[in-house]
Every structure is written in structure tokens, then in C-alpha cells.
Amino acid sequence: MSTTFSSAPVTAGLRHQLETRVLPVSPEVADDHFRLDALAPGASATVAGFCADVDPAVIRRLNDLGLAPGQRVEVLRKAPLQDPVVVRACDCEIALRRRDAAGVILCPCADE
Amino acid sequence: MSDHCSPAGRNASPALTADNLRLAVVGNPNCGKSTLFNRLTGAKSKVGNYPGVTVARHTGVVTGTNIMLEDLPGTYSLDAISPDEQVVIDSLEDPTHAPDGVVAVIDATALRRGLGLLGQLQQLGLPVLVVLTFNDELTRLNGRLDIEAFARAVGHTVVPVTAGDRRQAAVLTKLLADPHSWNAPALPAPLAPERATKWTDSVLTASGWSAPTADRRTRRIDSVLLHPVAGTIIFFAVMFALFQAIFTLAAPLQGLIEEGFAWLSELVRTRLPDTASTGLITDGLIGGVGGVLVFIPQIALLFLMISLMERTGYMSRAAFLMDRVMGTVGLEGRAFVAMLSGLACAIPGILATRSLPNARDRLAAMMTVPLMTCSARLPVYTMLIAMAVPLPWQGATLFAMYVLGACATMAAAWVFSRVLKAGDRPLPFYMEMPGYQLPRLRDVAHDIQAACMHFLRRIGGVILLLSVIIWIGLNVPGGGIDNSLAAQLGHALAPIFAPLGFDWRITLGLIASMGAREVFVATLGQIAAAANPDDPGMALMAMTWPDGTPLFTAGAVAALLVFFAFALQCVSTIATLRRESGTWRWPAIAFAYMTTLAWIAAFIAKTIVDLVV
């Protein structure tokens, strides 16, 4: 292994580093907080964290999609039967299923 | 460990020989990655407006250089949460074949999200070149970015590209040749979410970034096309218009092709002596080629519609509208795209299931896509419908066959997703809704051409080969059809199909159609032509059972239509299932369930039609 380049140790653990990223989760929704699926079309709020019962891999993906803590999310519309929903986050419009949207906890948006 | 490649530091210079420089193109879905790839390589892999269109691995050589580009599937993160996403990090971290550099394509209108991926790419220790796309779109949407300041803030060499700008392309090509000339940040961006967000914020602030406003044009169109009622009605109207157009607009062109080949066949017949080999050329070869080409107008029209849907951005709206429906059978909206691709051919449909993140979803979709009405069924349907259905109802009947295929697919998907359902992690469903765009004529033309060429190359050769084999089967050892080799096989299997109203000749057609469904038309055409060469269509109608009763009764035609809707009569599909599922088990199951289903459904159809007519 003496020929290993200095970059090897950096990359070797990348998967592990990505998989062990910690995002804020809470077991229950606080009084002034609500879930993304409860947000009405046209309304916006800020991502506070994620529900603790959601798979960590799903949480990491939601984060990477732009539903990261501190980011503003707006619900644009809902499909027939209220599922899925289209949200705008990080300047992108994404369709999410209600089930997944429910894993995102929001707090009311402070007017900027 | 490899003794070279994997440039360690940005300054380490392992001997990169120009003839094997390999670069990976990475970016979010829909960031313009495939367009850039096509422009650089001239390979023109299919580019769509729909996320996940780049499902396969595309490689190509940059025009005029020795640089190999690999177009990796669009991804939002290197943090793979499904086996399919693993492709990206696997090829970037490959211990023996890691690329010499990474071309990170970032959509300027989605800069924040693009930076998330860029931060992860920085951890690889590979040289990274940033290509910034959609700058013009950013300006149109009132956003702002100082590209030079951005390049300083991220620490990478940044190249903006605009569609059609040759000077930028030349600059980019020159840069690609030398990854060691690319700037690199002193330190990679942090991975921890909170710190990563801070890094992104600092880059955006330093770059004079102001976010684009929502696209008002897209919003206005969406308020109609995604309206719960109006949007759904429009969706079905679009689908119906698609099939009516295929039937009515393609017909005159098909007539021309048929006439052309009849003329050619006659020309050859008069020039050559009247021998068996002349028959092989005129009936077998020319007839077979004509029988393939005649369906090109329909396929071209279908792909015109699909290409327009993908390139305008409507395809993802359709998937959005269909997600709830697909959800009821355990699949997701994106599976709709695989199913829709299955309308062209089960092979691209099966390949398109790669965009499904969940392996079980994927298997369920893969096993059921062949039930969708593929283009190879279209000629069979067209012929059978024209034989038995009055003209005003032909379009509606064809539409009904497509609905039948779709319903069968959904029902089978429900069964398969239930059977395959395990205690798997439920993966999140997400799909980008890109802004609407006017498709470029050249791209649409390319899509149509690619589809037609695919049909001709993949199917054409098989049809031709089978046409010749059939001709031999029908004419050897000689002494009429009743005496031929093929007839013996048809006779042997006929009892199985007798309850469906099929005789040995139809059975022979079914046997021949295993190679490719549309061969059925050529086979019956040949059988009929042997009896009455003047008019194959009329000849089919004139075919009778030995006792003189008509063979193609309404009941038998209905049974044939339904049989073709369900049966897995396609060796190419079987081969693709084998390759994609990894075992012979799944194609074997698919063949067994589809053939059984086909026989039972055909029997029911015949019984009902016989009662009614």
C-alpha cells in the first residue's frame, strides 16, 4: 500500500461520510411547527428539520434535493387527490409524494 | 493499487497520455448535461426535458480530440440510496478505472442545489472543471451571477456555455484536454449539512448571486395543464389525439410505400426467369422489406409525439398527473414513462425502468412493460382491425387495444409489486418539473430518426431473415403449402389453438411471430399470397377452413387481437429481460404468465364476440 496516493484516504471514506451526515430530527412536531404536507398551495415556510420516524437515507436525500434546514419552501400545487405535491425549494420545482412531504417539519416563515 | 492515474494532488502529474484521457460528466438531472455531452461528442445520445432520461451510461469521444467523456446518470447527490444511483460514485471511485477528471455541470438557475453536489465532488480528490449552463435563462428570470467572482469563490475553473456559442465550445474543448490546468480549491467544501449550507451561502454571497424568480410563463401553463380537472382532461385528450393521428395521418404514406414495393417486386419478377429463387427474391425478400418499411410512418408519428412531450417538459407533468394512479398499483409516476416508452418497444421500456430507484419497483415494471402495446403490435392490430372493423370504428378500436394493454400492464404491476413486496426501505419519490421550453426542430427530428433507425436495425434484419426462412419453410420440400415443413409444425401445434378459432396457418403465423411480432403480417401475407398473389388483404379474408367456412371470423380476429395484446412473442424482449434482471428466471416467468394470460383472454374474447355477432 506504500504506493497509495495521498488522495486515497480522502475518497475511501466518502460514502461513509455521506451516509453518516446528521440532520436535525425530532420525534414530534412542536406547537408552532407543522409538516410540509399540511402547507396549503401558495403558502411558504422554512425547513426546521425532519420527523424522527423517517428513514435517515430519505432524510439525507430530501436535504440534498434542496429541502435543507433553513431553506424556504413554497407549495405550488397539489395533484388530483392531493398527491403528489409540487414544491419550490432552492429555486427548483419538484414533485413530492405526500408521504415524503410529511417527513419535513417546517416553521412559519419570517418575512424577509 | 494502480501505479498511475487517480491524480492525487492537483500538482501530482502522473503521465496522462492524451490518447486515454477519461473525463466523467456529472450533474443534477436536467442540468443540460446530456446536451453538453452531445454537443462535445457529436454522439447525439438522446436528450430530454424529463429528469432521468440519461439512464444508460453514455460514452463518447470529444470531436477532434482523444478525450473520452462518460456521461454519468443525472444525480442530486453522491450519497446513493439505491443500487441504481450507485453507478455514479462507483465509477468516480473506481480503484482501477477512475476518471482523470470530473466535469461538473451546474444549472445557473439551480445554483444552490448544484453547489451541494459540487461540494461532494470536491471530496473525490479528482480535478474538477465547472461548466455553467442556462446563464441566459438565469438572466431571463431576473437572476444574477458574477461568473468571475463565482469562479474565485468555489476555487474551480468555471466555463459558462450557451447553446450555439461556438467560441465557448472551443474554449471548453481546449480546457478539457488538460485537467491539470484546472484550478482547484485549497480545501474541499465541508460535508456536514450545517457547514455545507454555510459554505454554499458564502459562495453565493461572494458571487453576487441573486436568485431567479419563478418562471411566470411556466406557472401560467401549469395552472391549466396541472389543473385537477382541466389538466386530466387535456392529458387524456393528448393521448387520444396521438393515436388518432397515427392512424389517419400515416395511412396515405403507408399506401405509397406499399405501392412502391409492389411495383419493385413486379419489376424484378418480369426481369428474372420464373424460378424458385425469383420467388424468394420477390415474395420473400422484397415483400419482407416492404412489410417492415410500411410501418415507419406510424413509428415516426408516435415518436414525434413522445419527443415533443419530453422536450417541452410535458412528460414530467404527465408523470405527475399519473403518479397517484401508478401509486395504486405500487409503482410511481416515473414508471409511467417506462410504460409509455413501452408503447414504442418493450426494450427501451425495460431499459427506462432504470430510472426507478427501487429495485423491486423496477422488477415489477420490467415484468409488465411488455404488456404495453409496442410498435411491433401496431402492424398486426392495423391489419386485423382493417379486416374486421368498419372504417368509422377503426381508430376507436385501436385506441381500445392500447387501453387494454395499459390496463393489463397496471393489473400485472399490481400483482408483481405485491408479490415482490418485502420489508424494503420505502424510497422517497421526487421528480423535477422543468420549465416549459420550445423544442428545437433539429432535436425532435433526431429523436424521430433514432427511433426509426432503431426499428429498422433491430427489427428489420430479424424480419428479413425470418421472411426468407418462412419462404423456405413454405416452399420446401415443394409441392404446395400443405406439404411444407412449416405446415407440419403448424399442424402439430394447431390443436392447442383450435379453441381460439386459429387453424394451422394462423398457428404458423404465431410461431413465426416469436422472432418479432410484426412478422405475423408478413407470414400471413405470404401464405395468402401463395394462394392468391393478387391481393394479400383480400386473400386473407378469402381463407377458409377445410369445410369452407371463413377462417377470419369476427371471433377469430378478436381472439387474435387479444392474443397479441398479451402474449410475449418477442425473443428480443426475452433477451433484454434476461440481461436486465440478471437471471433466466424472470424471462421464463414472463413468458409463462403472458402466454397463459393471452390464451385465456383470447378464448374469452372469441366466446363473447361469437355470442354478439
Residue B125 forms contact with A (CB below 8 Å):
yes
Question: Residue A14 and residue B222: Cβ atoms within 8 Å?
Answer: no
Cα–Cα distance measured from residue B117 to residue B416, given in angstroms and rounded to the nearest whole number: 35
Cα–Cα distance measured from residue B160 to residue B147, given in angstroms and rounded to the nearest whole number: 8
Instruction: Kindly provide the ipTM of the predicted complex, given to two decimals.
Output: 0.87
Mutate to test the interface with A, among B430, B432, B436 (most CBs of A within 10 A): B430
Q: How many CB pairs under 8 A join A and B?
A: 173
pLDDT of residue B466: 62
Helix, strand, coil percentages (3-state) for chain A, rounded to 5, are: 30, 30, 40
The Cα-based distances of B305 to B131, B405, B439 in angstroms read 31, 19, 12
pLDDT of residue B120: 95
Cα–Cα distance measured from residue B306 to residue B49, given in angstroms and rounded to the nearest whole number: 11
pLDDT of residue A11: 47
| Length of chain B, in residues | 613
Over residues A54-59, the mean pLDDT reads: 90
8 Å CB contact between B103 and B176: yes
Chain B from 416 to 475: CB within 8 A of any A CB: 425-433
CA distance A45 to chain B (A): 17
3-state secondary structure of A35: strand
Cα–Cα distance measured from residue B242 to residue B406, given in angstroms and rounded to the nearest whole number: 15
**Which residue carries 423496477 as its cell?**
B362
3-state secondary structure of B226: coil
Which amino acid, one-letter code, is at B356?
L
Residue B309 — φ and ψ, nearest 5°? -60, -45
3-state secondary structure of A29: coil
**Low-confidence stretches of chain B (pLDDT beneath 50):** 1-18, 46-55, 533-535
Cα–Cα distance measured from residue B544 to residue B316, given in angstroms and rounded to the nearest whole number: 50
8 Å CB contact between B535 and B548: no
The torsion of the CA quartet B279, B283, B286, B292, rounded to 10 degrees, works out to: -160
CA distance B68 to chain A (A): 23
Please name which of B62, B46, B43, B153 lies closest in space to residue B106, comparing C-alpha atoms.
Answer: B153
Taking the CA atoms of chain B, what radius of gyration do you get in angstroms? 28
Which amino acid, one-letter code, is at B531?
A
Chain B from 327 to 356: CB within 8 A of any A CB: 327, 332-333
Cα–Cα distance measured from residue B473 to residue B505, given in angstroms and rounded to the nearest whole number: 12
- Count other Cβ atoms within 10 Å, centred on residue B492: 12
Residue B535 — φ and ψ, nearest 5°? -145, 100
The Cα-based distances of B212 to A89, B106, B131, B222, B227 in angstroms read 12, 15, 19, 18, 25
Which contiguous run of DSSP H or E holds residue B203?
A: helix B193-206
Q: Is B516 left (phi over 0), alpha (psi -120 to 50) or beta?
A: beta
Residue B26 — φ and ψ, nearest 5°? -125, 145
What residues are paired with B70 via a beta bridge?
B24, B59
Secondary structure of B405-416 in the HEC alphabet? HHHHHHHHHHHH
8 Å CB contact between B555 and B527: no
Q: Identify which of B76, B79, B323 has the shortest CB distance to residue A18.
A: B79
Give the cell for residue A51. Answer: 420527523
pLDDT of residue B18: 44
Residue B110 forms contact with A (CB below 8 Å):
yes
Residue B194 forms contact with A (CB below 8 Å):
yes
Residue B3 forms contact with A (CB below 8 Å):
yes
- Count other Cβ atoms within 10 Å, centred on residue B76: 23
8 Å CB contact between A89 and A72: yes
8 Å CB contact between A96 and B429: yes
3-state secondary structure of A88: strand
Q: Identify which of B6, B192, B429 has the shortest CB distance to residue A97.
A: B429
pTM above threshold 0.80: no
Write out pLDDT tens, residues B206-226: 999 999 998 899 999 999 999
**Which chain B residues contact residue A65 at CB under 8 A?**
76, 113, 430
Q: Identify which of A22, A83, A91 has the shortest CB distance to residue B324.
A: A83
8 Å CB contact between B463 and B516: yes
Q: Identify which of A14, A57, A77 has the shortest CB distance to residue B78.
A: A14
pLDDT of residue B417: 87
Question: Residue A70 and residue B197: Cβ atoms within 8 Å?
Answer: yes
Over residues A30-51, the mean pLDDT reads: 92
Please name which of A91, A41, A45 lies closest in space to residue B109, comparing C-alpha atoms.
Answer: A91
**Which chain A residues contact residue B123 at CB under 8 A?**
10-11, 14, 17
Question: Residue A18 and residue B194: Cβ atoms within 8 Å?
Answer: no
The torsion of the CA quartet B388, B392, B398, B401, rounded to 10 degrees, works out to: -70
- Count other Cβ atoms within 10 Å, centred on residue B460: 18
pLDDT of residue B342: 80
The Cα-based distances of B433 to A77, B46, B93, B547 in angstroms read 12, 19, 31, 62
**Which chain A residues contact residue B232 at CB under 8 A?**
80
Question: Residue B426 and residue A99: Cβ atoms within 8 Å?
Answer: yes
8 Å CB contact between B38 and B58: no
Q: Under 8 Å CB-to-CB from B427, ≥6 apart: which residues?
A: A58, B81, B82, B357, B358
Chain B from 251 to 310: CB within 8 A of any A CB: none
CA nearest B124 in A: which residue?
A: A11
pLDDT of residue B354: 64
The Cα-based distances of B125 to A14, B100, B177, B399 in angstroms read 10, 10, 18, 55
Better-scored residue on pLDDT, A108 or B530: A108
A69 secondary structure, DSSP code = T
Cα–Cα distance measured from residue B486 to residue B465, given in angstroms and rounded to the nearest whole number: 15
Give the cell for residue B484. Answer: 411444407
8 Å CB contact between A53 and A14: no
pLDDT of residue B43: 53
The answer to whether residue A78 scores a pLDDT higher than 80 is yes
8 Å CB contact between B60 and B73: no
CA distance B310 to chain A (A): 17
Pairing of strands A92-96, A85-89: antiparallel
Which amino acid, one-letter code, is at B235?
F
The answer to whether residue A25 scores a pLDDT higher than 70 is yes
Please name which of B444, B439, B435 lies closest in space to residue B221, comparing C-alpha atoms.
Answer: B435
The Cα-based distances of B384 to B141, B289, B450, B463, B502 in angstroms read 53, 20, 28, 19, 14
The Cα-based distances of B442 to B100, B161, B167, B170, B250 in angstroms read 33, 19, 21, 22, 21
